[in-house]
Amino acid sequence: MFRNAFRSLPTAIREPLKSLLKRVAFRVDKEGELSLEQAMGWLAALRDAGVSFGFPEDLSAGRGDAPLAILKHDIHQNLDRATAMALAERTNGIAGLFFMMGPHRLNRKFFGSAKSWDQLRGIQASGHRIGLHLDVMDAILRRGDLYEEIAEILAGFSHAGIIVNYANSHGNTAFGKLGIRTGDFFVETARDVRVSEASGAAGKRLNEHLGQYSLKIIGERFGVHYWIDNRVLRDGVEVAPVVYVTDNSGAVKIPARKLSSKKFDIDGAFVAASTSALVQAPSLILLHPQWYAPGLRAAKQHQPGTAHFNPQILADIRELNLEVGGTLLDVSVRKDGFRYDFRLNRRRTADHLIVALHGGVAGARELPVLARWKQDSYFRAPILSFFDPLIHEHPNIPAGWFVGDLARDATASIAEIVRRIAAQLSIDSDRVVFVGGSAGGFGSIRLACALGGAKFISINGQTRIIDYYPSGHEPFSAVFDPAHTPHENAALHESRWSTPPGLEKALQGSAPLRGIVIQNVNDKHHFERHYTPFCARFGLALEGGYSSDKRLWSVPYEGEAKHGPETAEIARRIVREFIPELLA
């Protein structure tokens, strides 16, 4: 229904709306994500500095001396992430407002499902409050009457046990191009503006609604007294000024104070500066839950816990003695000037060893980055997590592919370390499973080959480094061998800069090497430039299946339209299906 209404809009309205929808949906995803843990660290820092998290009612009531922060979340695209954020806030003793839309393109994946109502009730039950996120202009154009739209949505919410006393609006920015904003439809906040005649029939229709609604009437009729965009209004009247904080651009910003975090990184400098700003005045903080990656999803960029990397330093891997040390062992082996940092998690024992490799490290808060080391209850096996030694030496490169450089073969050295550790754990090297995503997927294949008959699970991995974006392969090439261009290096060192040569050779040998390549079909770059040529070279079907000798296996899956970690469904299949199959 919305789609048809959307198509019937004139271009002058449809295009800006479309670009807004696109931006809301994909703007941040394309480039990176924020970390939920990091955001919670920031909110906890505000809380510890004396900021009190509360609700709009507290703004008029005053709350003694504690500066109030009203935390609000507009929910789009992903209710699971909103739920995760609500839970994380609750864990930190923080409550906020979660603004949910009625049926809309941006939530059609989940709106109205039994699960979504359960999730909203859960958010509400944990001390947060639910508000109505309203696409005012869409409602007017589609339905013709804003009050009717609000009445219907709220009836549905009420039927599901959701209490709503707050509202805010969605979609102002694109309509700004038409010269109007949401506030112009309400008599209390309307300016003397009109949509230009050039916008055609819909523009004319919008004009008919300008100034025709009242926030006071919405308060009286629906009990929705508070309207909270970048100010806090009660029945259309501003309650008190607040400092507005927003993550709209992928960074967290306080425009009035000219403060901003780094992009996709709520960095320490911002935490400190924002804390001293927000202890002085009441604030309104907008965070979009869909942009904050929790737990597993955070592993790519942020590694909670790795700050405590506290290694024993060895001049030679032969000095390693697993008889001593606890279940969590940090080691740094020095060789040829490289530091090989790894963490061995021995909380679980098994007849196989998981070796986890990280992907790109752009945005990592601290080094070393150690992927998946915490996932012992998931893998039910010991986990050895390696950090790429080239990145230690050159922290500015986004990825190193576990290759090393011209003079130093990091793959061979890591394979040697893995061999030693597996032997001390009494695990055969053909029961070592290398697991990694992206650059870690590339590394998993080359390491399994280097070890001999090991196994690999490459998730959205590269096939040839040179086919990865120049922003990744150029900095790598410059430290690999600055005397040559990336294309020269890729040609001169083909067996190190790509996976197929080594894998072909290993498959000709007698060692029981086996592996799986897993690819998100909606990660266009990796599907086309890495997975497709890999499958072609090894006789694998793009739609999934075994190679003729059953030693390789392709697994495509449907994920979000971007490069990132595996879905929860794939994560489940890895432990339940793929690893047992590889080791069978």
Shortest Å distance, C-beta 138 to Zn ion:
11
Q: How far is the CB of 21 from Zn ion (least distance, A)?
A: 10
- Residue from 33, 37, 74, 267 touching Zn ion (CB under 5 A): that is 74
Over the window 468 to 507, marking each residue x when it contacts Zn ion by CB under 5 A and - when it does not, the resulting string is ----------------------------------------
The C-alpha atoms of residue 36 and residue 297 are separated, in whole angstroms, by 9
Instruction: Choose one: 169-177, 214-222, 233-241, 431-439; the region binding Zn ion (CB under 5 A).
Output: 169-177
Minimum gap (Å) between residue 167 Cβ and Zn ion: 12
- Provide, rounded to whole angstroms, the least separation between the CB of residue 227 and Zn ion: 14
**In the bound complex, which residue of the shown chain has the CB atom lying closest to Zn ion?**
170
Least distance in angstroms from the C-beta of 109 to Zn ion: 15
DSSP code for 315: S
Is 511 buried (19+), middle (13-18) or exposed (0-12) by CB count in 10 A?
middle
Please say which residue, 74 or 376, places its beta carbon nearer to Zn ion: 74
DSSP 465: G
Cβ contact 232:226 at 8 Å: yes
Report in angstroms how near the CB of residue 94 gets to Zn ion at its nearest: 21
Q: Least CB distance from residue 88 to Zn ion, whole Å?
A: 21
Between 229 and 341, whose beta carbon lies closer to Zn ion?
A: 229
Q: How far is the CB of 100 from Zn ion (least distance, A)?
A: 10
Residue type, 487: H
* Cβ-based nearer residue to Zn ion, 170 or 343: 170
Residues 432-471 that bind Zn ion (CB under 5 A): none
Give the strand pairing for 353-357 and 383-386. Answer: parallel
Give 16 or 325: the residue with its C-beta nearer to Zn ion: 16
- Identify any residues that bridge with 168 across adjacent strands, giving them in sequence order: 133
Which range binds Zn ion by CB under 5 A, 38-46, 67-75, 79-87, 445-453?
67-75
CB of 574 to Zn ion, least distance (A): 35
Tell the smallest beta-carbon distance from residue 6 to Zn ion (Å): 16
CB of 406 to Zn ion, least distance (A): 50
Contacts 24+ apart (CB under 8 A), 578-584: 578/457, 578/516, 578/518, 578/553, 579/352, 579/379, 579/433, 579/455, 579/457, 581/553, 582/433, 582/455, 582/457, 582/514, 582/515, 582/516, 583/352, 583/431, 583/433, 583/455
Candidates 129, 170, 346, 372; binder of Zn ion (CB under 5 A) is 170
Closest alpha carbon to 76 in 5, 148, 24: 24
Q: Could you tell me which of 350, 417, 418, 341 has the C-alpha nearest to residue 378?
A: 350
**Closer CB to Zn ion, residue 105 or residue 339?**
105
Cβ of residue 11: shortest distance to Zn ion, in angstroms? 23
Q: How many degrees, rounded to 5, is the angle at CA 237 between CA 235 and CA 242?
A: 120
322 to 361: interface string for Zn ion, x by CB under 5 A: ----------------------------------------
Per-residue burial over 132-158, b = 16 or more CB atoms within 10 Å of its CB, e = otherwise: bbbbbbbbbbbeeebbebbeebbeebe
Query: How is residue 577 annotated by DSSP?
Result: I
To Zn ion, the closest distance from the beta carbon of 76 in angstroms equals: 6
**Nearest residue (CB) to Zn ion, 131 versus 363:** 131
Residue count, binding to Zn ion (CB under 5 A): 2
Piece in contact with Zn ion (CB under 5 A), picked from 49-57, 74-82, 140-148, 504-512: 74-82
Q: Which CB, 137 or 206, lies closer to Zn ion? A: 137
Torsion angle of the four alpha carbons 76, 82, 83, 86, in this order, in degrees rounded to the nearest 10: -150
Binding mask 543-562 for Zn ion (x = CB under 5 A): --------------------
* Sequential DSSP letters for 393-459: H-TTSS--TT-B-SS-BHHHHHHHHHHHHHHHTT--GGGEEEEEETHHHHHHHHHHHHHSS-EEEEE
In this complex, which beta carbon is closest to Zn ion, that of residue 170 or of residue 297? 170
Q: Which is nearer to Zn ion, 20 or 69 (CB)?
A: 20
Min dist. Cβ of residue 19 to Zn ion (A) = 14
Mark the segment that binds Zn ion (CB under 5 A) among 167-175, 380-388, 471-479, 565-573.
Answer: 167-175
Of 89 and 229, CB closest to Zn ion: 229
Q: Looking at residues 233 to 252 of the shown chain, list those that interact with Zn ion (rule: CB under 5 A).
A: none
Judged by beta carbon, residue 171 or residue 400, the one nearer Zn ion is 171
Q: Minimum distance between the CB of residue 179 and Zn ion, rounded to whole angstroms?
A: 20
Other C-beta atoms lying within 10 Å of the C-beta of residue 263: 15
Return the number of the residue (290 or 554) whose C-beta is nearest Zn ion: 290
Return the biggest CA–CA distance within the chain: 81
Count Cα atoms within 13 angstroms, Cβ side, for 137: 28
Complex with Zn ion: residue 92 or 173, whichever CB lies closer:
173
Residues 500-519 that bind Zn ion (CB under 5 A): none
CA distance 74 to 88: 16
Stretch that binds Zn ion, among 155-163, 164-172, 394-402, 427-435 (CB under 5 A): 164-172
CA 212 from chain centre, in angstroms, equals: 41
Q: For Zn ion, which is the closer residue by CB, 170 or 374?
A: 170
Tell whether residue 526 is a contact of Zn ion (CB under 5 A): no
C-beta of 246 vs 429, nearer to Zn ion: 246
Burial string for 389-424 (b: 16+ CB within 10 Å, else e) reads bbbbbeeebbbbbbbbbbebebbebbbbbbbbbbee
In 103-199, which ranges are continuous DSSP H helix? 114-125, 136-143, 146-159, 172-176
Distance CA 336, CA 482 (A): 19
Stretch of 3-11, 73-81, 151-159, 199-207 lying at the interface with Zn ion (CB under 5 A): 73-81
Contact residues: Zn ion, CB under 5 A: 74, 170
